[in-house]
Amino acid sequence: MKATAKIFIMFLAVNSVILMSPQKATAQVSINFQIFYDDLSPYGYWIDTPEYGYAWVPDVSASFTPYRTNGYWIYTNVGWTWVSNYSWGWAPFHYGRWYYDPYYEWIWIPSYEWGPGWVIWRRSEDYYGWAPIGPGISITIAYGSGYRLPYNYWTCVRDRDFGRTNIYNYYVPSSNNVTIINNSTVINNIQRDYSTQVRYNAGPNRTEIQSRTGRTISPVTLREKNTPGQNLSNRELQIYRPRVEKHRATEREPAPSKIVQSRAGQPAGERTQPKRENQPARQQQPQQQRNDKQIQQQRDDQSARQQEAKEQQSRQQQMQQQTKDQQVKQQQMQQQRNDPQVKQQQKQKKND
């Protein structure tokens, strides 16, 4: 009995020590904006804007437009997802927002939510169009009746060409945007990622795309990548999409290691660009940058016209071939009708 009591007392003592001792917290990796600051710095530079805080200016050509240049849409298990050919494309096309600045041109503002592509989708009888959503604009506001974007922000393609991996060859000239957008309606295909509670627009309906293009659209599987970047192979898109946590008051605020002072508010003639190695033409020569953009736009328009001419020529050739086939068929039918008559004439001549 005494031994049993002693064991019971020891059991209580051990448990009391365990309950009173502080429990060791489980370590969790916290991803914040620092991942953007560090990973994107080699491909552009960061500025501190009065409106949005830190913003990223990419080192790209003067003709660059987000969700238009050097990439394409593919259908994944979360909807139409933008696949960028830029090595840094995993971040600015799936987090945050883009906006156009008259001085810096397209600038990216980081944010916390991941999505397949932060754009507004529209459709008309013969076209699909999309444009980047601006900073601070939620999905609810973006797809409300009061949110409007300039016509030159839009990228449009004919419905039969949507979903091509070389979609850049099929962009409609921007001069057509006014007519297309004014005769279009919003594609309100809002979805929710229940693991993060993020709402996004999945884009055009897959069944509708298949009907308009005449092609079967097979979903590509989305997989998590452990390091920054993205890779598409064997019907699988591996992309880095960590859950980005908001800055806590008790933590040090993340910041880029190098920040270029924003030139906002300065007259154009007084603005000077930051000195950088391998500085792109868009930073060195603003006038040349505008000229290059005009030239590129002219090339895009010319390419679209050439493509349209080829398609029209192909349609004419098909119509001509159909006409020839119909003529041959009519001749064959006439010959079939004539054969009994010839046989009858021959038989009558033989009897005579």
Tens digit of pLDDT for each residue in 49-67? 999 999 999 999 989 999 9
Tell whether the model's pLDDT for residue 321 goes beyond 90. Answer: no
Tens digit of each residue's pLDDT (9 = 90 or more) over 3-43: 545 544 454 444 443 333 333 333 333 489 999 999 999 99
CA dist 57 and 61 (Å) reads 12
Tokens of 56: 């990223």
Residue 257 pLDDT grade (very low, low, confident, very high; cuts 50, 70, 90): confident
Average pLDDT of the chain is: 80
CA dist 95 and 244 (Å) reads 9
Residues forming a β-bridge with 29: none
Q: Which of 5-19, 173-187, 233-247 has the lowest mean pLDDT?
A: 5-19
Residue 78: its pLDDT value, please? 95
**CA within 13 Å, CB half, 277:** 2
Helix (H), strand (E) at residue 322:
helix 286-351
The identity of residue 207, as a single letter, is T
53-58 and 71-76 as β-strands: parallel, antiparallel, unpaired?
A: unpaired
Is residue 306 helix, strand or coil?
helix
Altogether, the residues listed in the chain come to a count of 352
Tens digit of each residue's pLDDT (9 = 90 or more) over 99-111: 999 999 999 999 9
> Is-contact 206 221, C-beta < 8 A?
no
Tokens of 288: 């040349």
Residue 263: its pLDDT value, please? 67
Residue 165 pLDDT grade (very low, low, confident, very high; cuts 50, 70, 90): very high
Top-confidence residue, 128 or 347: 128
Q: How far is CA 135 from the centre of its chain?
A: 16
